[in-house]
Structure 1
Amino acid sequence: MKYYLCKYIPPRADFLATMTADEKDWMKQHGAFLDALLEKGQIVAHGPVMDPNGGYGVSLYQITDDLEIEAITSQDPIVRNGAGHYEHHPMLHLKARG
């Protein structure tokens, strides 16, 4: 298994407060995309971080060795529509409850 902390970087610091109608729709699709990966067991947890300097998203991935994290996150609707990008940070291991 491979493990990653992925940080979704929005296109601007005030993104959550200034989203357009299209961006709001893409964010709903983004949430559904991440929830589907959670159901498949590829994501352990995900959610928004309310940083006073600008919010962002975090997700913890646990994927099989034959999968590439960049290929997965590039399919996120918010990224496919050009509204931000991901940083990928490999982890040595991941321990979780349950």
Structure 2
Amino acid sequence: MGITVNNTRPDTAKVILVGEMMDGSFDARVMAETDVPYTKYWDNELEQRIIYLHPDQEQLASIVAALNEGRLSLDDLQNFGSSDGGTSDLPI
């Protein structure tokens, strides 16, 4: 089973900011690429990464659940997406 998620398009430039927290959990927000902070977004994060996907809220919840349940790694997630539009098929 998988989900098809829109990639970032140049005319909208929405991305996912994904954070791995100190307790091993993950959180994510969809935001404009220009709004991504250069500092920590979450107080208790270990790291944050930008993923060039533009999911709807249901898809974002599925991505975060897959990260938290270990069905998807942050490294694998970063292999998906594009800034040129189109879609990505995530194996979750």
| TM range, smaller chain | 0.3 to 0.5
TM-score (norm 1): 0.34
TM-score (norm 2): 0.36
Which structure shows the bigger proportion of residues in helix conformation? 1
